[in-house]
Amino acid sequence: MIRKEDIGCIKLCDLIDDYPFTVSFFEDNGIETGTAMNMTLKEIFDSYSVDETEDMVLDFDRVCENLAEFINQMLSFLSEDEKIHSITIHPGRDKSGNPEGFSDLKISRGEVISIVGPTGSGKSRLLGDIEWVAQADTPTGRRVMVNGEVPDAKWRFSTSTKLVAQLSQNMNFVMDLTVYEFIKLHAESRMVEDAENVITRIIEQGNELAGEKFTPETAITSLSGGQSRALMIADTAILSRSPIILIDEIENAGIDRKKALALLLTEEKIVLMATHDPILALMGDKRIVIKNGGIAGIIETTDEERSILVELEKLDRKILSYRTALRSGEILSEIK
């Protein structure tokens, strides 16, 4: 822990020695370090002319406060050894105010839970409750525990320790970067140690999931829908520190969903997916049924359902191969 009262009297070079990550803080906040290495923040601010102070846009006190906060956040992030084993959802009420039809639901690392229910029934609200680590302070009145206990507020408010990563329905990239540059940028923001290895792994895994291959030099904006999704899943599985992954439908096109789930699971994630697709719904260990805003029941996937899943997957592959054939101008014949 470092205090904001002390930070103004430490030389920049000493700060940077002790906390190398402060380099990017000084850079992003427009504090020139080059010539000022032997000065303290106090001395730097005292040396500013009126114009320069105005250009800084922050005063000395605020910069000290921010820097101390930043260093303390990073220290706790880097020493983070706390593991999330499970989350537990305590029931609330549905839209009519009736209590929900389940007793506590515990979800552990490595589990896949699907969430089913009609449009508007409250699937996204449930995902929202988990992301916000609700404590009876959302419309549903649910409580979400982490490792069986009332969670620390950092799960709500810290950007570096987010409980939840979301794979959104709509998967576009907007940055103008190559695949390699993009993942590197992400890795840097996550402060990973062996960045190069991690980048290679993500690109490899992404290519495993995607139908058509891409290279590190491909511009991310020119990836196809399937390739983008594949890269995004690989990146989230491997780089995101969040223990929980929320998925609002993984679309079918151009990506191997089974492998995608398997990848997320080898990375020890808790996976929750809201879906209308029977294949995805049955891939879960359990499924949560939502009606009228409340959890109406929790169903474990039965053996019979698992054999139905095998049939569905066959059907899925059949449709896929017909589609591929049609796209390449062939005339279809019955596949056995």
Binding residues for other proteins (CB under 8 A): 24-25, 28-30, 50-51, 54, 57-59, 62, 65-67, 69-70, 73, 124, 128, 132, 137-139, 157, 159-160, 162, 165-175, 182-183, 185-186, 189-190, 228, 232, 235-236, 239-240
Q: Measured from the CB of residue 21, what is the shortest distance to other proteins in angstroms? A: 10
User: Which positions ≥6 away from 16 have C-beta within 8 Å?
Assistant: 22, 23, 33, 37
- φ, ψ for residue 46 (rounded to 5)? -65, -30
Which of 35, 49, 119, 333 is in the footprint of ligand ATP by CB under 6 A? 119
* Residue nearer to ligand ATP on the CB measure, 96 or 328: 96
Which of 101, 110, 139, 278 is in the footprint of ligand ATP by CB under 6 A? 139
CB 168 within 8 A of CB 248: yes
Q: Residue 308 in 3-state DSSP? A: helix
Residue 207 region by backbone torsions, left for phi larger than 0, else alpha for psi between -120 and 50, else beta: alpha
Eight-state DSSP code of residue 210: B
Pairing label, strands 294-300, 286-291: antiparallel
Which of 105, 123, 187, 255 is in the footprint of ligand ATP by CB under 6 A? 123
Sign of CA dihedral 292, 294, 297, 303: positive
* Strand runs labelled E in 125-168: 143-146, 164-167
170 lines the binding site for ligand ATP (CB under 6 A): no
User: Choosing among other proteins, ligand ATP, Mg ion, none, which partner's interface includes residue 122 (Cβ < 5 to 8 Å by kind)?
Assistant: ligand ATP
Which of 8, 206, 226, 293 is in the footprint of ligand ATP by CB under 6 A? 293
CA dihedral 72→78→82→84, nearest 10 degrees, is 110
Neighbours of 148 (CB within 10 A): 11
328 lines the binding site for ligand ATP (CB under 6 A): no
Choices 117-125, 201-209, 222-230, 305-313; region in contact with Mg ion by CB under 5 A: 117-125
**Closest chain position to ligand ATP (CB):** 293
User: How many Å apart are CA 139 and CA 151, to the nearest integer?
Assistant: 19
User: How many Å apart are CA 114 and CA 283, to the nearest integer?
Assistant: 8
Q: Measured from the CB of residue 282, what is the shortest distance to other proteins in angstroms? A: 25
Interacting positions 47-106 with ligand ATP (CB under 6 A): 93-95
User: How many Å apart are CA 289 and CA 187, to the nearest integer?
Assistant: 37
* Residue nearer to Mg ion on the CB measure, 88 or 124: 124
122 lines the binding site for ligand ATP (CB under 6 A): yes
Provide the CB-side half-sphere exposure for 285 (13 A, CA): 14
Q: Measured from the CB of residue 331, what is the shortest distance to Mg ion in angstroms? A: 40
User: Choosing among Mg ion, ligand ATP, other proteins, none, which partner's interface includes residue 108 (Cβ < 5 to 8 Å by kind)?
Assistant: none
Which of 124, 160, 207, 218 is in the footprint of Mg ion by CB under 5 A? 124
Choices 71-79, 113-121, 162-170, 195-203; region in contact with ligand ATP by CB under 6 A: 113-121
* Residue nearer to Mg ion on the CB measure, 85 or 291: 291
User: How many Å apart are CA 187 and CA 235, to the nearest integer?
Assistant: 9
CB 175 within 8 A of CB 182: yes
Q: Which residues pair with 270 in a beta bridge?
A: 244
Residues of this chain that interact with Mg ion (CB under 5 A) are: 124
Residues of this chain that interact with ligand ATP (CB under 6 A) are: 93-95, 117, 119-125, 139-140, 293-294
